[in-house]
Structure 1
């Protein structure tokens, strides 16, 4: 943290540096941040940039200002929200937090069936044509011989499919959770392309799910969604196991 900040998006860069210190627990709960003057000198920026960065830390519930003006680190596991997940999933050195990733996989396995069921009960008539349009493009991708071309396209289309389902679920909480999970997923997007190939290529199940949503068969939607995401979940668990083995 002793390298001067580049003179570009100053407050954003200062925020990222301070956030990473907190999330890595280099500054544990209760730690008092250095003064604005000290931080400005350390980073080589103006105090306004530091002040704005600290304000963002407060908004993210990473710090609180104590009586007298001292800024103290909070326990982010008690006070933070889902918006912290992308920063926690991949650290500043590009290393994956496998424990957190496994937690995300578990949440995904629970949410997907619920979202699909809700869509079956609340979706408007325009959802099915939208899903079929995505599926048609996925089928065309499956005919692509070059895996390096095929898989990234399928990955994006699978995301488009689920985004449509979530937006028609009629549940604002699901929509907001999806937005946060999307940001987290994007943080490791490239690393997941080949690992989750089986799920991205599972167009047949997604087709059956689209039909079940259209028919309002919410229980069947739960089964199909669970079956579909389990493909990716198993692949991710195998990948995490390899990573943990290599770390030891």
Structure 2
């Protein structure tokens, strides 16, 4: 068993500030109160506050200008997809929007992979598909399934699709344990994914797109039932 991580005061303060920003208590474009006021209000030292600010700056939620103050950034206008894991952790409502992108991008990736996959990539897809059916438990099946989708993205020959695939999977991380529904039976999971891989291996672009749409719609429904 792995030891559970212990929350520090900086962790707690960062979480509280992040929540206040994402819920609109500190709206985009506004300046946070002076450091001394915030530190006193939260009952922490200014050093602790500065550490929390540093994390929020790395997350893209605030920006600090010397002599001016700390301002809340408009993350919807200026942020990138790297914010998705944090936003999903903040509000499960985001996962529905992630799934919508997953459906459209996933279908397009399958279509492009069918058109562009090399002989070696088609063989790799079949090998990775077999690993889904051989996986020992739901967690292993889920991870094996992810590797098939990464390979589909690579088979498009477009590295942006690879990065988008990684981004979408990273967005699942905060709630991944609740999304194991489609992967509880390894043989069923493989059978569900098999038409996608076979259409790609056959170079059937339209068939790959249809199969991917069906696969993504079916697994999304099961995952959302798990979240509910």
TM bracket, shorter-chain basis:
0.7 to 0.9
Distance 1:171 1:200 in 2: 30
Distance 1:169 1:222 in 2: 13
SS of equivalent residue, structure 1 residue 25: coil
- Residue equivalent to 2:101: 107
2:157 to 157, 170, 174: 170
Q: How much does 1:193 deviate?
A: 1.0
> For structure 1, which segment, 198-207 or 79-88, has the greater mean C-alpha deviation from structure 2 after superposition?
198-207
- Residue equivalent to 1:69: 68
Contact 1:22/1:73, CA 8 A, preserved across alignment: yes
1:76-119 per-residue CA deviation (whole Å, 9 max, x = no partner) reads 2222221121112123xxxx52x212111211111111111122
Contact 2:138/2:183, CA 8 A, preserved across alignment: no
| CA distance 1:169–1:18, change in 2 (3 Å) | farther
Distance 1:140 1:127 in 2: 20
TM-score of the aligned structures, taking structure 2 as reference length? 0.78
- Residue equivalent to 1:232: 219
C-alpha RMSD of the superposition: 3.2
1:42-69 per-residue CA deviation (whole Å, 9 max, x = no partner) reads 575664x755654554454423446952
TM-score of the aligned structures, taking structure 1 as reference length? 0.73
Contact 1:202/1:228, CA 8 A, preserved across alignment: no
| CA distance 1:67–1:52, change in 2 (3 Å) | closer
1:124 to 114, 118, 121: 118
SS of equivalent residue, structure 1 residue 71: strand
1:184 to 171, 174, 178: 171
- Residue equivalent to 1:22: 21
Q: How much does 1:154 deviate?
A: 1.4
Distance 1:199 1:116 in 2: 22
Distance 2:157 2:187 in 1: 25
Distance 2:13 2:186 in 1: 38
Distance 2:54 2:133 in 1: 48
Q: How much does 1:236 deviate?
A: 3.4
SS of equivalent residue, structure 1 residue 30: coil
- Residue equivalent to 1:134: 128
| CA distance 1:44–1:67, change in 2 (3 Å) | closer
